[in-house]
Structure 1
């Protein structure tokens, strides 16, 4: 059965990449979360998508120029009533001790080469005993190959915007157990061939009914969506099948 990963948490209804969005994704019955990590000036791992804090918080400037103490003062819930801090990865892992949810961590190191990010993330994963519940992904494929080298027990998955020829061959060559393509970049046939070759396929960001039907119909490994409730409702129609 296709798993449902909540993209930046339950971001269709709650401020993205906040603890509220993660808690609500779990309440909604998502199988997993997808979140993004960057490093502060003093080397703390924080959960935020953009390199700058401007779009998703009350602040302005680059994540890398804030200390952890400074970034925690910002409000990550710009549109809502309740003030929400930008979470640390530690905070997410502390909460994950109370549930069984999976977590896809996207390393946001394509534009800014955060020094030591891979080591820091892996050290925390091991400290919390979460190696079997985490998938590390990135558009920076050098970074995930490095993660595999230092922590072969943690699953990795390259992210793609474009289609790629025989993606299962590529995944196998970099020792990745999955691929995370843009849902519109590859055909059903390529997804099916990839899965038949033992590589998980978790396309992003799947929000339209027609796209969900398409992927549940081919029994895709997982979908990454902003709306886990809608995804669960549509998935139900496919659960009856043998």
Structure 2
């Protein structure tokens, strides 16, 4: 496996050397020392919102009208090669349709409407990735892009380049191998990398991925302050995933939990409670 990854990396570096893409402006602005960064990452573009489904363009607009945030979205691919926003392999949970998304054409998807997390049918449709990129560019909104397993990094990166959306796009990776291939394909993009502990961070450094390309996702459990200190020493932004248990903990123990976590070194909260977190830390 490691030889395959090495071969892919070399190929991608050669391919990328033939492009003249300049660095995304996010590489320069996403620094821990930048006090003007957005502090909220909205999970799946907005969850648990009445009448506003996850991974929905109208939901992004709705949340963005109220708070300063970045938006995590999930990108899947249809049978006819269209990139759309969808978290699950199947469309059953979040829409009026049924079936696996890779077995459905985009035209077939347009027959269905999205549902919110409470089962309410909306008038909203499953959005094309390119339309979301266009919206993000128009509104100067940053997207962190979770590429589903059935979709290649290259296809998504090509779509970002086609839309000239490098300055609003962050590619999410989950391990060193994904981060290595993403960097080889798109050295001009900022990457969300998994750095849940010092060992993971050291493996990223050993892979020769520049720290300027890193936004560190420190996991969904609170790490020791020493990890945040080490990442901040490299001016790397630290994102904590409070979605799930930590959001639930804050619901029970009070919103000041977010303030305490921020004081430990958390720069951005990836959350299912964007409005509550925003009000707590603003």
Q: TM-score, length-normalised on structure 1?
A: 0.84
Distance across 1 between alignment mates of 2:175 and 2:108: 28
Give 1:218's aligned residue: 264
Cα-Cα RMSD: 2.2
1:200 aligns to 2:237 (yes or no): yes
Deviation at 1:37, TM superposition (A): 0.7
| Closer/same/farther in 2, CA of residues 41 and 140 from structure 1, 3 Å limit | farther
Residues of 1 paired with 2:230 and 2:71: CA distance? 25
Max radius of gyration: which structure? Answer: 2
Residues 70/143 of structure 1: CA separation in 2 closer, same or farther (3 Å cut): farther
Count of residue correspondences: 229
1:1-242 matches, cutoff 5 A: 1=35, 3-13=39-49, 14-78=52-116, 79-109=119-149, 112=150, 114=151, 117-139=152-174, 141-159=176-194, 163-174=196-207, 175=209, 177-184=214-221, 186-206=223-243, 207=247, 208=250, 209=255, 211-236=257-282
- Larger mean CA deviation between 117-126 and 29-38 belongs to 117-126
Q: CA deviation at 1:219?
A: 4.1
**Alignment partner of 2:138: what SS?**
coil
User: Deviations along 1:88-125, whole A, 9 cap, x unmatched?
Assistant: 1111012123211111001111xx4x3xx322211221
Counterpart of 1:239 in structure 2 is none
What is the DSSP-based 3-state SS (H/G/I as helix, E as strand, rest coil) of the residue aligned with 1:202? strand
Contact 1:166 1:190 in 2 (8 A): no
Matched position secondary structure for 1:166: helix
In terms of fraction of residues, the more helix-rich structure is 2
> Taking structure 1 as reference, are residues 128 and 185 closer, same or farther at Cα in structure 2, changes over 3 Å only?
same
Unaligned stretches of 5+ residues in structure 1 = 237-242
1:211-238 deviation digits (Å, cap 9, x = unpaired): 52233223423111122221111112xx
In the alignment, structure 2 segments of 5+ residues that lack a partner are: 1-34
CA offset at residue 181 of structure 1? 3.3
> Is this contact kept in 2: 1:166–1:194, CA < 8 A?
no
